[in-house]
Structure 1
Amino acid sequence: MDLRCYKLLILGGAVRLYFSRTPLAGLISNRVEFATPLNSYKRMQEGVYLLQHGIDPYGGDLVHETPLLLRAMSTIFTSYPEFLPLLYILLDLSTAALLHLMSSNFVQQKLQQQRSELKNYAKDTGELQYTEDDKYDIAELVLIAYLFNPLTVMNCIGLTSTVFSNLILALLLYSLMKRQLLFCLVLLSFETVRSLYPAVLIAPLLLIFARRSICAGVSIFTLFVACCMAMAGANFLVMNSWNFLDGTLGFIFHFRDLQPNIGLFWYFFTEMFEHFRTMFLITFQLNATVLYLVPLAVKLRKEPLLLATVLIALMAVFRAYPSLGDVGFYLSLLPLWRRCWKYMSHGFVVFAFFLITLVMMGALWHLWIYAGSANANFYFGATLAFSTGQIFLITDLLFAHVKHEFCLYNGQKIIINGEEARILLE
């Protein structure tokens, strides 16, 4: 990292520190768009208090963080609470730095791949290829996209545990680029035991470490399951009880808290007849995990990092308790695919969706909860539109990647019957 990146990190830290000392921090920590039953600062604070006083935090239905993280945070929560904002800021800056280093490694690997495939590229594709400057430009764009995205800034000052999730995911992506298998498995198992959905990231891991060997793939998957069991055992040692499994993974899968959020679960299951609940619960959870996994893994088998990016984005859309902090994380990965941007055709539509729906969420929440002049349909309409905008973005990125790969090998201008052809995906 050069001096400019360190200056950006300092500036990003200063922005977070400033806003953490304003009333905005308290407001964000109570907003349902950022704080969910899984990542709420108040719920973690309650869990730490109960754990320290020998009370099972999972005896009720309030605490849903893992015992390991509760134990790790107990000292600073009780003895040094004034340093909590500083700790979260340092963790968030570490996430940004890791994403910067990961991006630089990714571009370096892309350059090596291009050198070996250059003879197969069409002649007019220079602007579609990665360059040496991209090692610095793309990495810097990723750094800026994370440090100064309002969603990640507010997620940090709201003291949500999504800050920890983002750090673990950034470490995981960096370890993937550095080909550190064991570290990847430990990180992935820790996050899987915490929030279930990251288990799907085993797919890009297998594509990198077991591309040509089924036996190696089975061994890695078995090792992943063993790591998950070991992580669950470590949590058991903290609590001397298995209650945490129902309070974390069980709570997520059964969706027991219908508190509104930016996701698709809460409104649907509020209106659901109880005798249909199990069927639709399984359907929604399959949609959030394995439904897209196999087709995407087959199509993106040569681009494991793009697969990881898309899976992280789909998790942010379809998981049971999403937050805007999850959205901010995957948005910061988009500059990695800068060479595909030329073929993304819904940029304005997506930007309009994001801007309008984010503004409308706050307004409609106030009208519903405080003014009493609206109802849940209004707020859910805004969150549904926001999810639609995210789907537009994800599909646009996938289509742009397909077009980019096609043009690399076939050229940007294809002449049929003397006329330039248009590339359309149907």
Structure 2
Amino acid sequence: MITKKSQKLLKSSHSLIIVCKVSFLLILAALLRYIIMVSKYQNIIANHVEISTPLSSWKRVLEGTFLFSKNINPYEGDLLHETPLALHFYKTVLQFVFKNVNVMFIAFDLGTSVLLYFATKKYAKKFREEHAEIEKFPKEVRDTLPNQDYENKVPLYVLMSVLFNPFSFLGCVGYSTVGIHNFFMSMFIFGMVDSNFLISSLALAICSSVSLYPVILILPLITYFVKVHKSYLQALLTLLSFITFLTLITCYNSNFGKDFSFVRNVYGCILTVPDLQPNIGLFWYFFTEMFDHFRELFIYSFQINATILYLIPLTITFRNRPFVLTVALLFLIGIFKSYPCLSDLGFVLSFLPTFMYLFSYCQQGFVISVILLMTSCLAPVLWHLWIYSASANANFYFGVTLAYAIAQIFLVTDVLFAHTKWEFYLKHGKDIKIDGEDTKLSLE
């Protein structure tokens, strides 16, 4: 017979094992990143357009901070696309906290993994408790319900996905500022799951002030407090806090209304896409080839597609699953934003272990994996052939970026369809009859 004392010992030993595993993974990931950062390959990785975009280039940040130190406005030209708050944050953190740029990027990457570890741990526990009474569900779907094993594995798998995901790894090694942005995005996820409206609204306000696109995540955040935490008061406070923090950040960026020159360089660059430097997104090639008199129309079309087009339909469909809605919107932002990089995909891929109960319902896993692998390998090769060898042209590289975007679209739609099918089976079972005859549910 197991006594209470022995149960406590088992629980403490289990917790100690988990702490040792997490510590080992963090140390290993930090060591691997540091080895590459001090090698000759760091500069090669940092110069690739898949890593460094006009909005995420660390070199531009350094030039901007240098101009600030000389009392020169860095927003007079077309060099800098970071907000004044972001510049001051990078400078302060690097000067007074880390002292070394390698350590700074590694620390933020590890911080992202730890925040997502605890966020998904809380989410997995609540999600399992929601489906704890298996007798309420049809027998044929009980094997797909989240269990204790799901609760233990998900946070560890998410941690490993952040630390050893090649897309996140390359972004960190290449000094992509999106990695620091992802730290605040993971803080937003943690605050949302932990029912902390101040942390979630502050983190979302910071992300929105830097990248603009995350502002649409306020809708799933409010939905999460209403549907999951069952608190209309917290939902209202979240909205008010978000508006307040965003206003304060804007006031700071504009020097309290004295200088709005950053708006054109930061938000104007994101919305109007003046810099057509090739990247892994969909904007650059289209607007390079397009006639100028059509530009304004298609700018509106592309930006609506990246922001509000899918927001209302997805919110209505997944109103009872705001976490799924949040991940779906993060996927869509990473696909359709004007200047995406590999770190955007690396961040959202880290959430896939939370949907491990859906893997048996997904149909495109092999195709998606192959496309992502092939495009990741071919992109730098075709870039070299186009720019350096002059034996290819822009169509070759754009073909790879188009396939890269299609793979992500297949992935998010596959997960959303699988979740819809899973919830249908939970409610109605797999043995479906129409007019007394057996039938089968198929989502196409």
Aligned partner of 2:251 in structure 1 is: 233
Aligned partner of 1:169 in structure 2 is: 185
Aligned partner of 1:136 in structure 2 is: 152
Aligned-residue offset at 1:214? 8.3
2:57 to 29, 36, 40: 40
Aligned-residue offset at 1:406? 1.3
Aligned-residue offset at 1:417? 8.3
Structure 1 residues 97, 238: closer, same or farther in 2, change over 3 A? farther
2:167 to 136, 151, 159: 151
Structure 1 residues 271, 218: closer, same or farther in 2, change over 3 A? farther
Aligned-residue offset at 1:376? 0.6
Q: Counterpart of 2:281 in structure 1: which amino acid?
A: G
Structure 1 residues 77, 99: closer, same or farther in 2, change over 3 A? closer
Aligned partner of 1:71 in structure 2 is: 88
Task: State whether structure 2 residue 220 is matched by structure 1 residue 197.
Answer: no
2:67 to 50, 55, 78: 50
Aligned-residue offset at 1:213? 8.6
Aligned-residue offset at 1:114? 1.6
2:128 to 92, 97, 111: 111
Mapped partners of 1:324, 1:339: distance in 2: 26
Task: State whether structure 2 residue 398 is matched by structure 1 residue 380.
Answer: yes
TM-score calculated relative to the size of structure 1: 0.94
Q: What is the SS of the residue equivalent to 1:62?
A: coil
Which stretch of the first structure deviates more once superposed, 348-357 or 128-137? 128-137
The number of residues matched between the two structures is 425
Mapped partners of 1:228, 1:135: distance in 2: 35
Aligned partner of 1:100 in structure 2 is: 117
Q: What is the SS of the residue equivalent to 1:34?
A: coil
Structure 1 residues 376, 72: closer, same or farther in 2, change over 3 A? same
Mapped partners of 1:78, 1:336: distance in 2: 37
Q: Does the CA-based 8 Å contact 2:128-2:151 persist in structure 1?
A: no
Mapped partners of 1:244, 1:53: distance in 2: 17
Aligned partner of 2:13 in structure 1 is: none
Aligned partner of 2:199 in structure 1 is: 183
Structure 1 residues 5, 76: closer, same or farther in 2, change over 3 A? closer
Structure 1 residues 420, 100: closer, same or farther in 2, change over 3 A? farther
Q: What is the SS of the residue equivalent to 2:275?
A: coil
Q: Counterpart of 1:399 in structure 2: which amino acid?
A: F
Aligned-residue offset at 1:218? 6.5
Mapped partners of 2:241, 2:402: distance in 1: 38
TM-score calculated relative to the size of structure 2: 0.91
Q: What is the SS of the residue equivalent to 1:133?
A: helix
Mapped partners of 2:283, 2:205: distance in 1: 25
Structure 1 residues 45, 79: closer, same or farther in 2, change over 3 A? farther
Aligned-residue offset at 1:105? 0.3
Which stretch of the first structure deviates more once superposed, 200-209 or 216-225? 216-225
Q: What is the SS of the residue equivalent to 2:354?
A: helix
Q: Counterpart of 1:205 in structure 2: which amino acid?
A: L
Aligned-residue offset at 1:285? 0.3
Q: Does the CA-based 8 Å contact 1:12-1:148 persist in structure 2?
A: yes
Structure 1 residues 80, 203: closer, same or farther in 2, change over 3 A? closer
Aligned-residue offset at 1:2? 2.2
Aligned-residue offset at 1:165? 1.1
Structure 1 residues 5, 53: closer, same or farther in 2, change over 3 A? same
Q: Counterpart of 2:318 in structure 1: which amino acid?
A: L
Structure 1 residues 54, 301: closer, same or farther in 2, change over 3 A? same
Mapped partners of 1:23, 1:419: distance in 2: 66
Aligned partner of 1:87 in structure 2 is: 104
Q: Does the CA-based 8 Å contact 1:121-1:409 persist in structure 2?
A: yes
